Structure 1
């Protein structure tokens, strides 16, 4: 029988919870699955904070779990994984739990919402919870926004191009770490390249800086104003902007990019050798 995310989460929790904690959790989940009780779900979920001692997970096991690395990157805690285990378990138990889980998300406090968003990909049929992910793009609470945008594979799998573009621009506007947004190369698109140029011009007109990482998605769309924008970066006194321009052109196949590199090649050798990358810019 193929193991599901719920099964792997159970294995991880068994390694990291005390025996009484694990027994309470698995017994409560079994009861919910048997009774199909929405009330039991809500009670168990609310009791988590008093029944589970929230601490960092230190042992992710030796099994090949698809999301193991992701849990490590997100520094998952016992309380977070316990909550996701409960939701995964009841969703697997029956379709009648879909609406109750969606309602739990809608009434979640900030910490609970961050957990939902970070680990949506571990739930059965993650697309059923896209409403929460899209709603998180509207928040000005950095920790909530970062829960969906940083490291999270959900946006690149389930967002439309417009939604992903909105997230990327919002991350820049909120001055969040753009290096932590995954799949930028995969999600790059012409509309985003135009948006990046427009936003940069607004910032420059207001005498404000633009994070050099912001330009990463434009490599395959170097034309018109974007060529001039990248040349401006090459001419900048800021070394990071020069390096970003070099990276943009190095990863581009356009004739314009080649021309720019022929003229501005201070950092080209280091880029070619892999000493300068988007990861270490």
Structure 2
């Protein structure tokens, strides 16, 4: 079975329901994973998405913050949710498709503004979340699985607009990249996007603060699609839909796509 998956930090699914519907209508991914939904589950505008063929949903939500959801045209059942770092946040949901593939949708904490856990509690929470992810994958090696989401780390030098300038900026610091790579290694994950697009600058996030984000192009690749080793070779056709960053009342993130023949 071939299916196309997209992941997108939507920055409020209720505020931006129309551009979610636009993506569903124009791009029609079989599975759409959203982060930062900022909505209780019962307030997600599910009927609008069901009308477009997304008849299956698994989600975790909370009012005004965080929140993750997976919408699917393919039959899907919930496959668990974890509270990594015991934050009490809605940051993870998993769904299992009828072909047995499990999709993990994560919204990793952003980590605040200062890359020092001694003075910034949020940075410590981010590192602890990643450590718990690593330990969970060490304990139970995932198989036939995909991990997506806003992981809030741009790991490679060409995942940011200026490597040297961002080395001390949260999302690209060496300690975050080390934690990111540890998580990937612990589960035997492969970076699907970079397997398909191995070279060159690649971003999925551009700050709202930039007056002309497109021309300035000071982006970071914070949104990721991974696959376990047993299905990584089934992935192809990766892309970042940069144009969506320029839609009406956009998220500051762009959707990331990949197709799997599993």
- Does TM, scored on the shorter chain, surpass 0.5? no
TM-score by length of 2: 0.28
TM-score by length of 1: 0.27
| The structure with more helix, counted as a fraction of residues | 1
- Greater Rg by CA: 1
